[in-house]
Structure 1
């Protein structure tokens, strides 16, 4: 079976863990609000692979009962989502191989890919490799789901977006405003710098945000300007956020935030989802139907 997703779909990787089940529920809310299909992907890895047990990495043999159990959980999750979202078009893909490869392939026609993130030490190692592969190669934005749903459904918690004046940063701003509008959440635009005049930086930030505040007049926007490392500042603010949105591409300083030590910290310890936007992906906010409020 091909992993190819329908145009504009929201794609989510599901592995049977509670984290991935919650990630699928969040992805379903977004797909329904955007009025696009949801594609759930389950990859049954090779017979020997690394897994984590008691917070340790061990080589594991994927037995036939393991495969059957994973499929049962997957199908149960799909059935539950169809009950919760009766009008949502939900597609499934059961594939051999590794999830990172399948999700990258699916991203070629998707508007969003969602990857679950396990917060145990061993889970961070395994998920980190998948996140690096998908975030580095996907043709659309990638969301790294965290285990806590408390942040996602707390209406007073803001959507946070890193503003750096680059094309990838501008794309992150677009997705941040879209999500804030869907959820009714306030938006905090964050800009950091290491030198220069604060007044000049504030003026640049206001100019960058002007078109988006005009397009989304109902989104409450506040601005945070700080001197320092962007990853450190975003990691601090993420503790009280609903979603953190960042832009990244090969020559963007925020790419170092995503793939460097500070960025790994942000992706792995943030209690809320992290949305990573590439420079010029096909973006749902430009060609999808009008958005509906998320539940």
Structure 2
């Protein structure tokens, strides 16, 4: 099934995956993306009743992860719960989510076990100005533009002071985005490590976006900083591999 420029979500019947489906439905509506729902056998009536008539359904016979990885090649984003059906309380990110994070070709949004974050809150981009991830920057700007969310960029000052850190941030964004640089956005400089700053702001974010340097490399895709964020964040977290091009998330951001 073709999921080009869809928001694709995996549903296995667990309460966490249903919450992920509701979040995916809401961001798809806000951003005018079509919605694709990948579900396990026996879930179709429940999913259709829950999400109305707007979603495109695809049934898988076994686990969700392989189908979500396949869908990620063309989807605007893939959404999944941090823990699915039958998962124990620990680990916080279960094997299925780990597999998708490691193998997906596009942005992966992981919803924590509990979240009350709504889409009227700012979209937060965590930016390492010394090692920026262009794909995560473009993804965050695209999603914020399509959904109307306020974009907040958080950086740590790395001991150089807030003014210099803010200037460096604007320079990085300008270099990556060029004429697509938003007219308005917020830059917040933290004296703390970036991950700690993102965790502190998680309750205020509709979505937290971070980048990885390489796709299909688990040690980078969910490097230690991202792993900590995924385990502790109360907001949904999007992990975007640096090889993902803007168009995959953008589709038609200016529509």
Determine if the TM-score, normalized by the shorter chain, exceeds 0.5.
yes
Deviation of the 1:24 alpha carbon: 1.2
Aligned mates of 2:167, 2:254 — CA distance in 1: 31
Deviation of the 1:250 alpha carbon: 3.3
**Distance change in 2, residues 1:36/1:223 (3 Å):** closer
Please say if 1:40 is aligned against 2:37.
Answer: yes
Aligned mates of 1:257, 1:196 — CA distance in 2: 28
Aligned mates of 1:31, 1:234 — CA distance in 2: 24
Partner of 1:268: 231
Alignment of 1:254-293 (within 5 A): 258-260=222-224, 262-282=225-245, 283-288=247-252, 290-291=254-255
**RMSD, matched Cα:** 3.2
Q: Which secondary structure does the structure 2 equivalent of 1:79 belong to?
A: helix
**Distance change in 2, residues 1:126/1:105 (3 Å):** farther
Q: List per-residue Cα deviations over 1:144-170 (Å, max 9, x = no partner).
A: 0235553124x3x32110112478622
**Distance change in 2, residues 1:239/1:32 (3 Å):** closer
Q: Which secondary structure does the structure 1 equivalent of 2:133 belong to?
A: helix
Q: List per-residue Cα deviations over 1:109-159 (Å, max 9, x = no partner).
A: 222100112499924427332232212211110000235553124x3x321
**Is the CA contact (8 Å cut-off) linking 1:124 and 1:268 kept in structure 2?**
no
TM-score between both structures, scaled by the size of structure 2: 0.81
Q: Which runs of 5+ in 2 are unaligned?
A: none
**Distance change in 2, residues 1:7/1:180 (3 Å):** closer
**Distance change in 2, residues 1:147/1:290 (3 Å):** farther
Higher Rg of the two aligned structures:
1
Partner of 2:20: 23
TM-score between both structures, scaled by the size of structure 1: 0.71
Alignment of 1:107-256 (within 5 A): 107-118=72-83, 122-125=88-91, 127-148=93-114, 150-153=116-119, 155=120, 157-165=121-129, 169-196=133-160, 198-210=162-174, 211=177, 215-217=181-183, 219=184, 221-250=185-214
Alignment: residue pair count? 248
